Amino acid sequence: MKKTTRAVLTAAFAATVLSGLAAPAAAEPVVLPPVNKTGLAAAIAGLPADGTTAALVRVTDVDPAQDWAGASGVRDRRSGAPAEVDARVRIGSVSKVFNTAIVLQLVDEGLVDLDESVQHYLPRLLPADYPPITVGQLLNFTSGLPSMSIPGSDEFAWQYEHRFDHWTPERYVRESLRGKKMLFAPGTKQQYVNINTVLSGLVIERVTGSTWEKQLRERITKPLGLKDTYAPGNATGIKGEHQRGYQLVVAADGTRRFVDVTRWNVSDRFASGDMISTTADLTRFTKALFAGEVVPDPVLENMFTVPEVPVYDGNDDPADDEAATRSMGLQRNVLPGGIEVWGKTGARPGYLNGIGALRDGSRILVYSLGATDAKSEDQHPLMMPIIGAAMGL
């Protein structure tokens, strides 16, 4: 793959990098090249390795002859059992797409107003001196809220020590916002932080009078037949056949060891990142979502509309501003040749995932990598070769 292509793809699909590639769609119809099946097989060959225990990849095209699915590496380092393309995995922030779809369903039903403030739905949860923040601003990450973290929680050692802790979303919001100021005035910039989705998940619970997990089940997974997709709540394990996750830990003396991170209580992430799924279920969900079968038009267009604001960069110099690329629940990416892909990535310790599709759903990519460095998801060496081959680049 050419260096320029690799650079664009890296920016386009990295969950933690806002690339500013919010270029308008090409004036002429874009012809998508055939899936590079040889490239896909080569991209995931040679596993397991230090950085990756396994790769699960599924590409679906409007032309079934272009479909491809494959897996490489091991499902379990101890037994050496081979990876399976449809083993269950932790999907991290891909959960945000499901959450956004539920909120927009409620908008369509008249139960949620995108222009109403989160303080209206969740009174006394946010600090009293925070300005009104709309539900729509939560969904497209223009709320201005600071990051959702507590001291030490960004370090893997802290996370592992507290991996079985239970958090209510309300408690985590309060503790993570204590003493913090707004980053910017709501609606003026875009900053990707989990707290937006945690709050919109709580809005779902408030207006429906039931749990987020039940709404996910009744509104999406059950109607679509997603039998391998669920939100575990406080359960620390993964039901059924699943991919085990590992984190590579390097001690001060250089000693290296793999830590099994499969069992984990992800209640601190709530609606922003606690779900479990498979490549087949994520493909089915993405296809249905893009076809308007999950969220009806015209409400669905919110998921394909990027606000015309800059990305928050911590300074007031407009000269180095980058344009926002995130919509409500998705991210717009323009690849070489004018190929416009909408997608989302998500990571948890031991798992790195992504979904991406053309707006018409004619080609869908879903992947899950057994990444052994959870903090460097945007640097994983297999991401770009997989994405490029799937899109024929």
259-310: per-residue pLDDT in tens? 999 999 999 999 999 999 999 999 999 999 999 999 999 999 999 999 999 9
Give me the percent of the chain exceeding a pLDDT of 70.
91
Q: What band does 377 get if pLDDT is binned at 50, 70 and 90?
A: low
Q: What band does 155 get if pLDDT is binned at 50, 70 and 90?
A: confident
Q: What is the mean pLDDT of residues 12-26?
A: 38
How is 193-257 classified by DSSP, letter by letter?
A: -THHHHHHHHHHHHHHSS-HHHHHIIIIIHHHT-TT-B--TT--S--SSB---EEEEE-TTS-EE
Q: Which of 344, 345, 342, 322 is nearest to 332 (CA)?
A: 342
What b/e string do you get for 294-318 counting C-beta neighbours within 10 Å, with b at 16 or more?
A: bbeeebbebbeebbebbbbeeeeee
Q: Which helix (H) or strand (E) holds 11?
A: helix 3-13
3-390 maps to which CATH number? 3.40.710.10
Q: Which residues contact 85 (CB under 8 A, 6 or more apart)?
A: 56, 57, 58, 69, 70, 71, 279, 280
Contact (CB, 8 A) for 328 and 104: yes
pLDDT at 27 over 80: no
Q: What band does 31 get if pLDDT is binned at 50, 70 and 90?
A: confident
